[in-house]
Every structure is written in structure tokens, then in C-alpha cells.
């Protein structure tokens, strides 16, 4: 994994852990763990979406706001990297 992807992954894990902490939950946030399985609710997913947009300074396109993209840290990582890559290359 490239340093860029590792940084993005760590930032997503920190966002997820922060949301869990707000709910007084603690879980091992691994890249492959399903977010609903570690305790995120649908409202938490909305907060996560907003957190990702703020953290990475971009608006998630409507077509990317899918259950598949918000299943795990890995799926979020792929979506965020795909959105940031064109900016990074410019």
C-alpha cells in the first residue's frame, strides 16, 4: 500500500473510532471490519459521510453514497482514493 493510501486509511480509522467513542463504544477498527458489525448505526453513517467530506475536503458525489462504499474502512478507502486521485495527479 502506498504512503498516500496508508495515510487515508489511518484518517478513516480515526474518524470511525471517534464516532464510536461518541457513542461510548469501543471496537477494534480494522480495515476489513464491517462498520455495522462494530457498532455504527445509520445515523453514524451520515456523520461518517460528513466527517469524510470535511477530513478530505471534497464532496462525495451522490452516485458514490452507496451502502457498498460504506461497508468497511477498506470500501471507504477505495472510494476516497478514487475521488482524490485526479486532484493528486493535477
What 3-state DSSP class applies to 34?
Answer: strand
Neighbours of 53 (CB within 10 A): 14
CA-CA-CA-CA torsion for 37, 19, 78, 10, nearest 10 degrees?
-110
Give, as one character, the DSSP assignment of residue 7.
H
Mean pLDDT across the stretch 4-32?
Answer: 95
Mean pLDDT, rounded, of the chain: 93
Distance CA 57, CA 41 (A): 24
Per residue in 47-77, pLDDT (tens digit) is 999 999 999 999 999 999 999 999 999 999 9
pLDDT reported for residue 85 = 83
Q: Is the separation of the CB atoms in 76 and 8 below 8 Å?
A: no
pLDDT reported for residue 87 = 54
- Assign 86 a pLDDT band (cuts: 50, 70, 90): low
Amino acid at each position: 500500500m502506498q504512503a498516500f493510501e496508508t495515510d487515508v486509511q489511518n484518517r478513516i480509522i480515526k474518524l470511525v473510532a471517534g464516532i464510536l467513542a461518541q457513542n461510548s463504544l469501543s471496537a477494534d477498527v480494522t480495515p476489513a471490519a464491517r462498520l455495522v458489525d462494530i457498532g455504527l448505526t445509520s445515523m453514524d453513517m451520515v456523520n461518517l459521510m460528513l466527517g469524510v467530506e470535511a477530513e478530505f475536503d471534497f464532496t462525495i458525489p451522490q452516485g458514490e453514497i452507496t451502502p457498498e462504499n460504506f461497508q468497511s474502512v477498506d470500501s471507504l478507502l477505495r472510494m476516497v482514493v478514487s475521488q482524490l486521485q485526479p486532484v493528486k495527479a493535477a
